[in-house]
Homo-oligomer: A and B are copies of this chain.
Amino acid sequence: MEIVTLKKLAELLNVSQSSVSKALKDSHEIGQETKNRIKALAQELNYKPNASASSLRRKSSKTIGVVVPLITNSFYALAMNGIETVAQAKDHHVLIYLTYETYKKEVDSIRHLQNGIVDGVLLSISRGTTDYEHLRELKSRNIPLVFFDRVCESMNGPWVTVNNHESGYAATEHLIKNGCKSVAYLSFANHLSTTGNRLKGYLEALKKCDLHLDEELIIECTNNDEENYKKIKKLLQSKNCPHGIFASIERLALITYHVCKELKLKIPNDLKIISFSNLETASLLKPSLSTMTPNAFEIGRKAAEILFENIEKKNFKGKLERITIPASLIERESSQLLP
């Protein structure tokens, strides 16, 4: 039996191939009568879009790619569970790529994903990325991309993230309300949408609460934990030692705990701490750690849902979905107001 192609259908119906294609996709560009005529013949001849040799339509790989900076951070491990829930319902495999916070590995991963192995990509940007050409390349190949957690604010793409600015504000305000007259911010890559907006929230809270902004209390941390340890130790040994610390990522809060142990500083008596964190052990630490906790599972789930909407409706020109999911302030011992 001869395979029925798009071309064959067009010839038989005396219309253009593009009209056939559009009609089968229910495009509004084609009149209802023509649509009916085209659909009827397609059905009669048992036309299968993927069997069409001349079609350039990409075949579904039944796979999505997830590109994240690291998995030693509990946020990503939990977000992955949310992504998996959706992918499983859609019968898709999930491929995970780690960029280890480097630009090079992010570019490599995105390029690798362009070779037809995935139907769409979920990405949380690496610390090292400041140029986005590789993402534009991906988009130009019509592979749907949804950002989650760390998004690219300058690109015209959908995303799901935390309400970083508001949460940064609330975390700082919480420390001030509990008695801190000075609050340090342990920053990490301020150009990232997440930690950058947390910093903005911190600054806004200081202003609102009439606290003096001391630039020396904004500590720039990096991927080098030994260096971070030294910087935090120096801060806590200085005359300028703050009453409270707001850690932008959980790793920095844990380092602060170690420094306090070494310096025999008591939390929350000598220093109060709050941190952005999804750490499972936060409530078991000594003292238990107050956290601003993102809804990691829901962020992953929602991002995957939007990705599949984009995969399934290829010419979808609806509204650009940009969703912000609030984090929860969980007060524990480390930031307690003392009598």
The answer to whether A94 and B84 touch (CB under 8 A), given A71-B77, A78-B72, A112-B63, is: no
Residues of chain B within 8 A (CB-CB) of A284 are 254, 257-258, 261, 281, 285-286
**In the complex, are the beta carbons of B72 and A77 less than 8 A apart?**
yes
Residues of chain B within 8 A (CB-CB) of A97 are 93-96
Top 10 A-B residue pairs of the complex, sorted by shortest distance between their CB atoms: A286-B286, A96-B96, A72-B77, A281-B281, A71-B71, A71-B77, A95-B95, A284-B285, A257-B284, A93-B112
Chain B residue at smallest Cβ distance from A105 = B88
Residues of chain B within 8 A (CB-CB) of A98 are 80, 84, 94, 96
Distance A257 CA – B281 CA, assembled complex (angstroms)? 10
Q: List residues of A whose CB falls within 8 A of some B CB.
A: 63, 70-72, 74, 76-78, 80-81, 84, 93-98, 100, 108-109, 112, 117, 254, 257-258, 261, 279-281, 284-288
Chain B residue at smallest Cβ distance from A72 = B77
Residues of chain B within 8 A (CB-CB) of A84 are 98, 100
Chain B residue at smallest Cβ distance from A287 = B286
Distance A234 CA – B325 CA, assembled complex (angstroms)? 38
Q: What is the predominant secondary structure among interface residues of chain A facing chain B?
A: mixed
**In the complex, are the beta carbons of A72 and B74 less than 8 A apart?**
yes
Q: List 15 A-B contacts (CB under 8 A).
A: A63-B112, A72-B74, A72-B77, A72-B78, A80-B98, A93-B97, A93-B108, A94-B97, A96-B96, A96-B97, A117-B117, A254-B280, A254-B281, A281-B281, A286-B286
Residues of chain B within 8 A (CB-CB) of A96 are 95-98
Minimum distance in angstroms from A75 CB to a CB of chain B? 11
Distance A210 CA – B217 CA, assembled complex (angstroms)? 59
Chain B residue at smallest Cβ distance from A104 = B88
Residues of chain B within 8 A (CB-CB) of A93 are 97, 108-109, 112
Beyond the given A71-B71, A80-B98, please list 18 additional residue pairs across the A-B interface where CB-CB is below 8 A: A71-B77, A71-B80, A72-B74, A77-B77, A84-B100, A93-B109, A94-B97, A95-B95, A95-B96, A96-B96, A96-B98, A254-B281, A281-B281, A281-B285, A285-B285, A285-B286, A286-B286, A286-B287
